[in-house]
Amino acid sequence: MKKNILTILFIALFFTSFSQDKELKTQHYLGIFAGGGNSNLNLIYSDPDKTLNIKNPYVISSNFGLSYKRFSKKNIGLAIDIKYIKKGGYSEFNVNYEGEILDSAVQYKYIPEYIELTPLMNLSLGKKRTHLNVFFGPHISYLLNDKVKILSETSNIYKTSADKKIELGLDLGTGLDFEFFKNDVELRVFYSFGLTNMFNANETYNNLWFIQNRVILASLYYYYKI
pLDDT at 74: 76
Single-letter residue type at 202: N
Distance CA 24, CA 34 (A): 30
Read off the pLDDT of residues 100-119 as tens digits, 9 standing for 90 and up.
Answer: 999 889 999 999 999 999 99
Residue 14 included in any domain: no
Q: Give the confidence band of 20 by pLDDT, cuts at 50, 70, 90.
A: very low
Q: Identify whether 4 is part of a domain.
A: no
- Give the model's pLDDT for residue 17: 38
**Which stretch of 26-35, 72-81, 186-195, 212-221 has the lowest confidence by average pLDDT?**
72-81
- Give me the pLDDT at residue 8, please: 41
Asked if residue 140 is part of any domain, the answer here is: yes
Find the mean pLDDT for residues 4-28: 49
Q: Is residue 164 part of a domain?
A: yes
Whether 20 is covered by a domain: the verdict is no
Asked, for residue 120, whether it belongs to a domain, the answer is yes
Q: Are 196 and 166 in contact (CB under 8 A)?
A: yes
Among candidate residues 224, 188, 220, the one with its CA nearest the CA of residue 33 = 220
* pTM recorded for the entire structure: 0.84
Q: Average the pLDDT over 134-138 and give the result.
A: 97
Within 10 angstroms of residue 129's Cβ, the number of other Cβ atoms is 10
Range of the domain at 52: 26-225
Tell me what percent of the residues of the chain surpass a pLDDT of 90. Answer: 74
Cross-strand bridge partners of residue 152 = none
Cβ-Cβ contacts under 8 Å for 123 (sequence gap 6 or more): 75, 76, 133, 134, 135
Q: Tell me the average pLDDT of the chain.
A: 89
Q: Is residue 107 a part of any domain in this protein?
A: yes
pLDDT in tens, 183-201: 999 999 999 999 999 999 9
pLDDT at 28 over 90: yes
Q: Is residue 218 part of a domain?
A: yes
pLDDT confidence of 26, banded at 50, 70, 90? confident
CATH number, domain of 122, equals 2.40.160.20
Residue 127 has pLDDT above 90, yes or no: no
Q: What is the pLDDT of residue 2?
A: 43
Binning pLDDT at 50, 70 and 90, where does residue 73 land? confident
Overall number of domains in the chain: 1
